[in-house]
């Protein structure tokens, strides 16, 4: 089986792709994959680390406002479509699986016009722009939320949930994870993570936490992002509470399993992973996310009793410290939040998506001789 993956830009797009790749590889040891993404985008590194051949496009994101660079962006988009056509013709995929982000548009747009099966996955409660543009011609639209907003063919939509990698479905026991990370099991622990790119607001608030909480009160694991890692490490060295500071955490499943609370943005993949782990959280939605989808995600968790929500402009160190103090002093509340988070999980999402891809590819191969 030959499958082309396309999309990226953030971990919210690449993580579901990896979950589905894991499942497809488990089912088909002879699977051939290629990933089309942006040259220099994070998906290029993700593909390399996971042994997926990568094909680069020079496509750029477009602003929804008028911009003097729009002509140049459209020219790059046209060139990217021509490159995508070449990659598709050479690789001859049996299906193209799109995970969103503007970089997914060229390959999906071209594939649909040369009669290649396409499947789109939408992680959020509102269709992203690339998925909205391609939904009308897609073979199957795979949704994470039953109330997904946007114009799309309902008869081709399938509710699967947002897939998470195997590690989040089978994490280590909390005690084992704590031992692996060198945490004291008798002191509450939190993880602060700003997503794949880091988050300045969360980083500033975390500096305050390291001064507010004594080491015997709270343990902090801090994923500050590459851009602010050096400043974060220096801040931790100077503070009374010596956080474990990382630019990026590779084994997020083990780290989340080890802590009591996760403080994070509310991207679709992060919230899906928190649900799979049954982990209480304080969510700080990124205020400039397309269609404000992160706040929608966060409010859904808040409504279920799985998370507390702080808007970005409310997330001062003092406010965050108040929320953390309240939660770590109430173990019953933490337990109920974890159970609520678990109730939102869709643990079979990757399996359902992989099965859908395989079934459609098989049906197409069966029908092709009849259709000539």
Q: Read off the pLDDT of residues 102-125 as tens digits, 9 standing for 90 and up.
A: 999 999 999 999 999 999 999 988
Contact by Cβ (8 Å): 243, 267: no
pLDDT of residue 372: 43
Residue 149 is classified by DSSP as B
What percent of the chain is modeled with pLDDT above 70? Answer: 96
pLDDT in tens, 209-242: 999 999 999 999 999 988 899 999 999 999 999 8
Going across the sheet that includes 281-283, the strands are 244-246, 219-223, 189-193, 261-264, 281-283, 307-309
Q: Do the Cβ atoms of 263 and 190 come closer than 8 Å?
A: yes
pLDDT band for 66, please (50, 70, 90 cuts): low
**Structural domains of the chain in order of their starting residue, each with its CATH number:** 2-164+347-371 (3.40.50.2000), 167-343 (3.40.50.2000)
Does position 181 have pLDDT exceeding 80, yes or no? yes
Flag whether pLDDT at 291 surpasses 90.
Answer: no
Chain-wide mean pLDDT for the chain? 93
Q: How confident is the model at residue 74 (pLDDT cuts 50, 70, 90)?
A: confident
Dihedral sign for Cα atoms in the order 24, 25, 29, 32: positive
DSSP state of 81: H
pLDDT of residue 227: 87
pLDDT 10s digits, 312-322: 999 999 999 99
Strands 140-143 and 281-283: unpaired
Predicted pLDDT of residue 371: 47
Q: What's the rounded Cα separation, in Å, for the pair 243 and 254?
A: 17
pLDDT at 65: 61
Nearest-CA neighbor of 7 among 92, 122, 156?
122
Question: At a CB cut-off of 8 Å and minimum separation 6, what does 372 contact?
Answer: none
Flag whether pLDDT at 67 surpasses 80. no
pLDDT tens digits, one per residue of 346-372: 999 999 999 999 999 999 888 775 544
CB 175 within 8 A of CB 257: no
Angle at 71 between CA 69 and CA 77, to 5 degrees: 105
What is the average per-residue pLDDT within 15-35? 97
């Amino acid at each position: 089986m030959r499958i082309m993956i396309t999309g990226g830009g953030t971990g919210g797009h690449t993580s579901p792709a990896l979950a589905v790749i894991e499942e497809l590889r488990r089912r088909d040891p002879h699977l051939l994959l290629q990933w089309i993404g942006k040259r220099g985008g994070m998906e290029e590194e993700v593909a390399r680390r996971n042994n997926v051949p990568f094909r680069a496009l020079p496509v750029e994101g477009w602003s929804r406002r008028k911009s003097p660079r729009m002509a140049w962006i459209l020219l790059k988009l046209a060139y990217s479509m021509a490159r995508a056509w070449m990659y598709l013709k050479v690789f001859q995929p049996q299906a193209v699986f799109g995970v969103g982000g503007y970089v997914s548009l060229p390959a999906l747009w071209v594939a649909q016009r040369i009669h290649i099966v396409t499947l789109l996955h939408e992680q959020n409660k509102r269709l992203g722009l690339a998925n909205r543009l391609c939904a009308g011609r897609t073979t199957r639209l795979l949704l994470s939320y039953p109330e997904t907003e946007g114009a799309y063919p309902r008869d081709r939509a399938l509710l699967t949930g947002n897939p998470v990698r195997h590690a989040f479905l089978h994490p280590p026991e909390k005690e084992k994870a704590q031992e692996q990370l060198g945490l004291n099991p008798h002191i509450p622990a939190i993880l602060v993570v700003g997503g794949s790119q880091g988050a300045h607001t969360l980083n500033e608030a975390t500096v305050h936490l390291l001064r507010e909480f004594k080491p015997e009160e709270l343990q902090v694991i801090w994923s500050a992002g590459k851009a602010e890692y050096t400043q974060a490490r220096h801040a931790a060295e100077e503070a009374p509470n010596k956080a474990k500071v990382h630019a990026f955490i590779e084994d997020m499943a083990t780290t989340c399993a080890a802590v009591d609370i996760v403080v994070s943005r509310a991207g679709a993949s992060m919230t899906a992973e928190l649900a799979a782990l049954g982990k209480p959280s304080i969510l700080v939605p990124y205020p400039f996310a397309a269609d404000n989808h992160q706040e929608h995600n966060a409010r859904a968790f808040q409504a279920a009793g799985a998370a507390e929500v702080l808007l970005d402009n409310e997330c001062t160190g003092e406010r965050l410290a108040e929320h953390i103090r309240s939660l770590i002093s109430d173990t019953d509340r933490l337990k109920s939040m974890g159970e609520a988070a678990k109730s939102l999980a869709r643990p079979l999402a990757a399996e359902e998506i992989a099965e859908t891809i395989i079934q459609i590819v098989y049906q197409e191969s069966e029908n092709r001789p009849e259709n000539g």
